[in-house]
Structures are given as structure tokens and as C-alpha cells.
Amino acid sequence: MRLLCFPKSFSFHFQKVDKKQTIMAQSSGSNTGKKLIRIDITSDSVCPWCFVGKRNLDKAIAQSKDQFDFEIKWHPYFLDPSAPKEGVNKKEYYEKKFGSRAQGIFARMTEIFRNIGLEYDISGLTGSTLDSHRLIYFAGKQGLDKQHALAEEIYLGYFTQGKFVGDREFLLESARKVNEELEKYSANISGVPNYVINGKHQLSGGQPPEAFLRAFQVAAK
């Protein structure tokens, strides 16, 4: 039997829930009578094994969907908390990080990605994944199915298209592919925290309580 091994940055937490409970799975809007499997994924957007693990998980879910409903939730992990926000050359960064092992790692990942039908791309920039995690978190608030789909788009861009996970346009395009609603809330946001009240009244930054009270009064009119 071949065992799949995942790094510490990719973890699963499974919980089987009795069908009598009323929590709905991401794949179903009604109680199907099947048992619900909750999966909490902790990962980083620049972790190749996380992407491979996701693809393998998706296959397992597809094979089990007649037996179970699934609820999948993504959680952030930072492989390099000090990674630069502006981004650095991806290939050079990994060569510096892994030294003489880098070329072997590139070759190995190329082989692994081809086994799942993808071409591993080492071009482009790498850096802080904070903004990608923020967007993934927000997608989860819109729906766990959308969160799962967004993680896929970000992985595809970074690992197969040379996209930078810190690039705002790339992140917005990934969100746009998943759901136009994500773009609606994030396209005009230049920083966080950002608040939208009643869908049209917007506040940014660390506002005092009085500012929120005024906004509530205006929104209520």
C-alpha cells in the first residue's frame, strides 16, 4: 500500500456527525440522510504539498459522495511569517532556502505535479501569503464551497501559472472566478479593517465607537 505523507503545514481534522444533526454540508442544501464529514484544512498558499493534498482529497470526496456529505473549512498557516510583502524571485528564494537540494526538489515537484495532471511552474514571485489567507477567510463567510473553490484558484495560479499570491489583481481575479460577490466586497478595499453597513455605508481603519454609531444612524434612515 502506498502512503501519502503531508508536511506539518497541511493538516486534516475529521469529525463524523450523526445524520440527526441539522448542520448542512457544503455540497448539499438539504438533509440528505447521509452522515456528514467535517474537514478542517490548515495550509499555506505557497505549500506545494498542500495543493497536492487538496487534489487528492477532492478525489477521495468524489469517490465517497454517495456515502457522505462533506463540510470543508480552510484555516491559515504561515510557512514563512517573515516573507516579504512585496515579493521576491521565487526560484532564487527557494535556491537560497534549500541550497544544494533545490534542484532536486524542483525536479521532484515537477514529477509529482505531472502525476496529478499539472505542470509545476517555478517562475514568478513568492512572498507573504497574508492577503491570500484574508481572502480565503472572507470566502468562507460567503460559503464553505466558495472557500474551497477559491483555494483551488490560488493554488493553480501560484503553482502552474507563475502568479504571485501577494498580487491584488491576481487575488481579485481568483475571487471573480469563484463568485462575483467576493469582488463586490473586496474590489474597492485598499486596507483592513473595512466595514460595509447595510450594503452601502463603508468605514475603513480603526474607527472609534462614535463613528460606528453615526453610521448606524445614517444607515437606518
pLDDT in tens, 73-85: 888 889 899 999 9
pLDDT cut 70: percent of the chain above it: 67
For residues 29-45, average pLDDT:
77
Per-residue pLDDT averaged across 190-212, rounded?
Answer: 55
pTM score: 0.69
In angstroms, rounded to a whole number, what is the distance separating the alpha carbons of residues 63 and 198? Answer: 42
Q: Do residues 159 and 120 lie in contact, with contact meaning Cβ atoms separated by under 8 Å? A: yes
| Measured distance between the N- and C-terminal CA atoms of the chain, rounded to whole angstroms | 66
**CA pair distance 203, 191, nearest whole angstrom:** 11
pLDDT of residue 65: 80
3-state secondary structure of 197: strand
Span 116-140, average pLDDT? 94
- On whether the CB atoms of residues 34 and 9 are closer than 8 A, the answer is no
Question: What pLDDT was estimated at residue 97?
Answer: 92
Name the band, by pLDDT with cuts 50, 70 and 90, for residue 189.
Answer: low
Q: In sequence order, which residues have a C-beta less than 8 Å from that of residue 76 and are 6 or more positions away?
A: 42, 43, 44, 129, 133, 136, 137
Q: Taking residues 64-68, what's their average pLDDT?
A: 81
- Residue 63's pLDDT is 84
Q: How many CB atoms lie within 10 A of CB 49?
A: 17
Q: What is the pLDDT of residue 135?
A: 93
Residue 1 and residue 53: Cα distance in Å, rounded? 17
Average pLDDT over residues 99-112: 95
- In the predicted model, what is the mean pLDDT of the chain? 77
Strand partners, 13: 40
Nearest alpha carbon to residue 50 among 137, 126, 103, 109: 109
